[in-house]
């Protein structure tokens, strides 16, 4: 192709790989947080929604407290954004990014906020959710529900499962386990006495058909109980990787 033509092609490839959000993904959170902290909360929310949750959690933890909740709320309530607007932001951050989005791109949402908060420290999580609660209780509750789901019971220690069992009605467990994975069933049943375990297995065997929505409602009730027990200090939900643990 000749030296000049070949260089043009290589330049385009290099530009695609090292621009915009691809470039930001290689920047440590400690360096990126000050760089974007002066941006509008909506812009920061869009940027964090495009990054890996662990990196986004590290950045969120280093933003001012009043900005943390505002950004988290905007992520949770974000739906989609046009490629043109996303391109504008990419250009201002890294420049020369090729617009590779072929249509509206889903960004943000409660799940993204939950993934980020799962990886922050507890103090950041509580501050953010309390502030969102004031602004929009429904969004705050949706994020909370996504931060710990019924299947995450497998992440609890045996002692914590036993604490949970003392606070949950057996009839609810029978229903909840109807749509649970074998791993969750084993985790819960193995922490019961032989007599109770046999009773539970018998009850599950004779339980008739139920709507999935009804089962999920009971599972959510148990999740609420687990989070209540955590708030009371009786158990610890250890899903969070922690973006820089603090010793106290």
pLDDT in tens, 30-85: 777 887 888 889 989 988 988 889 889 999 999 988 899 999 999 999 887 777 77
Domain that holds residue 135: 3-147
Domain match, 131 and 176 both: no
Within 10 A of 150 (CB to CB), how many other CB atoms are there?
A: 21
Domain match, 7 and 59 both: yes
Structural domains counted in the chain: 2
Q: Is residue 79 within 8 Å of residue 109, measured between CB atoms?
A: yes
Domain match, 94 and 46 both: yes
Domain match, 163 and 227 both: yes
Asked if residue 248 belongs to a domain, the reply is: no
Asked if residue 240 belongs to a domain, the reply is: no
Domain match, 85 and 97 both: yes
CATH number of the domain to which 20 belongs: 1.10.220.30
3-state secondary structure of 51: coil
pLDDT 10s digits, 107-143: 678 988 988 887 776 678 888 999 999 999 999 989 9
Q: Where are the alpha helices (DSSP H) in the chain?
A: 3-17, 20-24, 29-36, 41-49, 53-61, 65-76, 83-93, 110-117, 122-135, 137-147, 158-167, 170-176, 182-189, 194-206, 212-231
Domain match, 83 and 129 both: yes
Question: Which contacts (CB < 8 Å, 24+ apart) does range 30-35 have?
Answer: 30/58, 30/62, 32/59, 33/58, 33/59, 33/62, 33/63, 34/62
Query: Does the predicted model carry a pTM greater than 0.85?
Result: no
Domain match, 136 and 217 both: no
Domain match, 107 and 197 both: no
């Amino acid at each position: 192709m000749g030296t000049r033509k070949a260089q043009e092609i290589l330049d385009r490839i290099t530009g695609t790989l090292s621009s915009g959000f691809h470039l930001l993904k290689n920047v440590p959170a400690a360096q990126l947080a000050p760089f974007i902290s002066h941006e509008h909360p909506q812009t920061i929310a869009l940027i964090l929604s495009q990054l890996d949750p662990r990196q986004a959690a590290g950045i969120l933890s280093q933003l001012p407290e009043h900005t943390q909740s505002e950004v988290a709320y905007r992520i949770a309530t974000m739906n989609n954004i046009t490629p043109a607007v996303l391109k504008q932001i990419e250009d201002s951050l890294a420049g020369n990014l090729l617009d590779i989005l072929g249509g509206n791109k889903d960004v943000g949402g409660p799940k993204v906020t939950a993934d980020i908060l799962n990886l922050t420290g507890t103090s950041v999580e509580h501050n953010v959710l309390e502030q969102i609660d004031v602004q929009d209780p429904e969004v705050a509750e949706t994020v909370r529900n996504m931060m710990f789901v019924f299947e995450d019971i497998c992440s609890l220690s045996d002692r914590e499962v036993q604490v949970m069992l003392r606070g949950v009605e057996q009839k609810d467990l029978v229903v909840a386990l109807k749509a649970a994975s074998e791993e969750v069933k084993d985790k819960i049943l193995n922490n019961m006495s032989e007599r109770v375990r046999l009773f539970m297995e018998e009850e599950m065997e004779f339980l008739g058909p139920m709507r999935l929505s009804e089962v999920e409602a009971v599972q959510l009730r148990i999740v609420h109980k687990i989070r209540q027990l955590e708030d009371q200090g009786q158990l610890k939900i250890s899903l969070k990787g922690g973006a820089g643990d603090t010793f106290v």
